[in-house]
Amino acid sequence: MATIAEELARKQREISVSEFFERNRQILGFDSTVKALIVAIKEAVDNSLDACEEASVLPEISVTISKVDQNEYRVSVRDNGPGVVRAQMPNVFGRLLYGSRFHAIRQSRGQQGIGISAVVMYSQITTGKATRIRSKIAESDVSNDIELTIDTKKNRPSVVKDDHFIWEEGGKRVDHGTLIEFSLAARYVTGRQSVMEYLRSTAVVNPHATISYTDPEGRTYTFQRATETLPPKAVEVKPHPYGLEIGTLINMLAYTQEKKLSLFLRNEFSRISDRVAKEICEKAMVSADRRPKDVSLQQAKAILDAIGGTKIMAPQTDCLSPIGESLIKRGLKNVLGSLRPEFYAQPVTRPPSVYSGNPYQVEAGVVYGGELASDQPVAIMRYANRVPLLYQQGACAITQAISSIDWRRYGLEQRGGTGIPYGPAVILVHVLSTKLPFTSESKEAIAPIPQIMEEIDLALRACARNLKSHLNKKETKSKAAVKFDIVTEILPKIAEKSSKILQRPVPDISRTITKIMNVVFIEDGVDYDAKKKVAKASVRVRNYTSRKQELKVHALVPPAELDRGSIYPEPEEVSEDGKIMWNLKKLQPLEVVECTFSLKSMERDDYSENEVYISDINPATVIGADPLPGDWGIKTFELEEAEVEEADYDEEESELSEE
């Protein structure tokens, strides 16, 4: 027995992290030659975007793929980021689990330090070739050019070639940036899960970046940036005590530099003040002056229980960097504009929430109509921390949340009221957090955590209501337009022909027209002056009734950009938060009043649709505008209650029809 045990002991040895992932590369997403190409480019582009944003540089990224042979491709990714210092280049690109973001509690695309070094390892495994990295920092006159491989037994980089020279492109010196080139066994495909689709999706949620792509056929595509504004920087914060586990607390107590427990609680965690730290110590019955290293296991458990029973402020949210409603809309228009969608629902950015002590946020947007396929399931654009998720759609919380909504109530086809809806639409959902709960290390799907799915649901329903309102207006206006054509064009011609036959004067049929129409018709539009960067909005009110009408017209606009001197006619009220109200008194039959205003310093996609409401008139007699909500904004819980009532009504109606 001893001999067998000794033999087994001699066979046991430590496995390096590189060696583990070398044999289990499917964990990182390299489980097929098609997927490997996309994952490799994704890791390089994510690194480039993170580096540029940290350096406050508007990203300019170029991706080039060239075919080496039937099963091998050469990939080049170039950025204008701050560059990497020579001493760190081998470790950054040739050592797994080496990075600067793992311990930082803030939103970022990559954190583990695996991504780009895993690409180097996969390239080495499948082609046997070294990866080339060129990088230049602004403070240096020359760039550094190295070729390296990874010693997987030791998880250490092995530099094959090391050189430096003047980096020039197009006859100009490059000031700063990084270029990585690698070969890999891969298969190039087109379609929904392709490099092109990944880059297109990336451009939507990174409208501040210019991304250029050259495919293996030599065709170049460019996604120009839609804004010069960088996203707000995510600030690094300390861990929040809620959601803390006992093992983590014990490790923190063992390695802290603080000498007192109260100081440890106050300085190692966010949202804990002196008062809260004292309250936790008292509830745990542990001295506030006790050395953290001397805290026992039982005392640590008591501290953890005390934290759970103490009211502590929610985590800071400046560690998150949401895209924002305006930039989501601009990004969608910039990338999907060639499909000419008829409607972009106002995107929604939900307030931050907390899951297991980690702040998270959900954003959503819906695009409808145009040349989008109407006989296919809607296109779902899933994002996690600004990174597109192309695989494992069915396992993702985003897809499950979309499938659980009854989209028939919002104008899309859906068999049975569950599942992915059909129709000419694109649904975008972006989930961001300091620590997203992915279903696997390859980070391809978000785990269906109930709290996160609830926030996704609320964001989607807000967009869906916007879509439903648009479709209702469209249908009403379409029906009215047919009626208008008949009444306003054909009736006068009939009157003219009849008068000619009867040899009598043409009668005034205006009163007849108003009796037939019997509505107040509202049309609105926006014209954009590209030279002056001014959006000129108009709201035209026509009285197609047989009597005088009185009504109030309301427009909700961005207050900072509103040119108050451009408002016509004189409004009765202009509030500080951007609400314009015109009181139209004694609007005569067939009279037309046009209300106009201008918005300054606007990009074309910042303001493309008016938000118009009416009040002090029976809304049933108005086409083209919704009745004014009770207080300029229905609260979320009120909307939810209204939806519950609507759902109950739909259910009752369905049951009656079945009976």
The DSSP result for 525-578, as a single string, is EEEEETTTTEEEEEEEEEEESSS-EEEEEEEE--GGGEEEEEEES--SEE-TTS
Q: Burial code of 96-117, b = ≥16 C-beta within 10 A, e = fewer?
A: bebbebeebbbbbbbbebbbbb
Asked whether residue 17 carries a pLDDT value surpassing 70, the answer given is no
Q: Which two tokens stand for residue 330?
A: 């601009």
Helix (H) or strand (E) holding 69: strand 60-69
| Per-residue confidence (pLDDT) for residue 142, from 0 to 100 | 92
Q: Which two tokens stand for residue 36?
A: 């490997």
Question: Among 8-17, 187-196, 594-603, which stretch is predicted with the lowest mean pLDDT?
Answer: 8-17
Asked whether residue 132 carries a pLDDT value surpassing 90, the answer given is yes
Question: Among 188-192, 447-451, 529-533, 644-648, which stretch is predicted with the lowest mean pLDDT?
Answer: 644-648
Asked whether residue 330 carries a pLDDT value surpassing 70, the answer given is yes
Q: Which of the pair, 569 or 493, is modelled with greater confidence?
A: 569
Separation of alpha carbons 50 and 47, rounded Å: 5
Nearest CA among 232, 207, 197 for reference residue 330: 207
* Strand extents, DSSP E, 138-286: 143-151, 156-165, 168-169, 172-173, 177-185, 210-214, 220-223
Residues forming a β-bridge with 432:
361
Predicted TM-score (pTM) of the model is 0.75
Q: Which two tokens stand for residue 69?
A: 């042979």
Q: What percentage of the chain exceeds 70 in pLDDT?
A: 89
| Per-residue confidence (pLDDT) for residue 346, from 0 to 100 | 84
Distances from the Cα of 621 to the Cαs of 281, 548, 591, 593, 614, in angstroms?
Answer: 66, 13, 16, 17, 11
Question: What are φ and ψ of residue 121, in 5° steps?
Answer: -65, -45
Q: Which of the pair, 516 or 225, is modelled with greater confidence?
A: 225
Task: Break the chain down into helix, strand, coil percent, rounded to 5.
Answer: 35, 25, 35
Average pLDDT along the chain: 84
Q: Which residue has the tokens 């269906």?
A: 448
Q: Which of the pair, 254 or 511, is modelled with greater confidence?
A: 254
Question: Among 88-102, 587-601, 629-643, which stretch is predicted with the lowest mean pLDDT?
Answer: 629-643
Q: Which of the pair, 240 or 570, is modelled with greater confidence?
A: 570
Q: What is the mean pLDDT of residues 55-59?
A: 93
| Per-residue confidence (pLDDT) for residue 193, from 0 to 100 | 82
| Per-residue confidence (pLDDT) for residue 48, from 0 to 100 | 92
As to burial, measured by CB atoms within 10 angstroms (0-12 exposed, 13-18 middle, 19+ buried), residue 87 is exposed
| Per-residue confidence (pLDDT) for residue 473, from 0 to 100 | 77
Question: Among 99-113, 265-279, 354-368, 391-405, which stretch is predicted with the lowest mean pLDDT?
Answer: 99-113
Asked whether residue 633 carries a pLDDT value surpassing 50, the answer given is no
Asked whether residue 220 carries a pLDDT value surpassing 90, the answer given is yes
Asked whether residue 338 carries a pLDDT value surpassing 90, the answer given is no
Q: Which of the pair, 650 or 254, is modelled with greater confidence?
A: 254
Do 343 and 467 meet the contact criterion of CB atoms below 8 Å apart? yes
Each residue's pLDDT tens digit, 350-396: 988 888 778 899 999 999 998 898 889 999 999 999 889 988 898 99
Q: Which of the four pLDDT bands, split at 50, 70 and 90, describes residue 631?
A: very low
Helix axis angle, 397-404 to 450-485, nearest 10°: 50
Q: What is the mean pLDDT of residues 490-510?
A: 83
Query: Coil, strand, or helix at residue 380?
Result: strand
**Across 114-128, 185-199, 275-289, 315-329, which has the greatest mean pLDDT?**
275-289
Half-sphere exposure of 9 (CA within 13 A, CB side): 6
| Per-residue confidence (pLDDT) for residue 640, from 0 to 100 | 43
Q: Which of the four pLDDT bands, split at 50, 70 and 90, describes residue 523?
A: confident
| Per-residue confidence (pLDDT) for residue 639, from 0 to 100 | 43
Q: Which of the four pLDDT bands, split at 50, 70 and 90, describes residue 13?
A: low
**Across 223-237, 299-313, 434-448, which has the greatest mean pLDDT?**
299-313
| Per-residue confidence (pLDDT) for residue 659, from 0 to 100 | 39
Task: Mention every residue, 6+ apart, whose C-beta is less than 8 A from residue 308.
Answer: 242
Q: What is the mean pLDDT of residues 268-272?
A: 88
Each residue's pLDDT tens digit, 140-169: 989 999 999 988 777 788 899 999 889 988
| Per-residue confidence (pLDDT) for residue 413, from 0 to 100 | 92
Asked whether residue 524 carries a pLDDT value surpassing 80, the answer given is yes
Give the Cα-Cα-Cα angle 75, 81, 83 (nearest 5 degrees). 85
Q: What is the mean pLDDT of residues 62-73?
A: 93
Each residue's pLDDT tens digit, 453-465: 999 999 999 999 9
| Per-residue confidence (pLDDT) for residue 114, from 0 to 100 | 64
Residues forming a β-bridge with 74:
66, 183
Q: Which of the pair, 261 or 237, is modelled with greater confidence?
A: 261
| Per-residue confidence (pLDDT) for residue 472, from 0 to 100 | 83
| Per-residue confidence (pLDDT) for residue 21, from 0 to 100 | 55
Q: Which residue has the tokens 């050592």?
A: 95
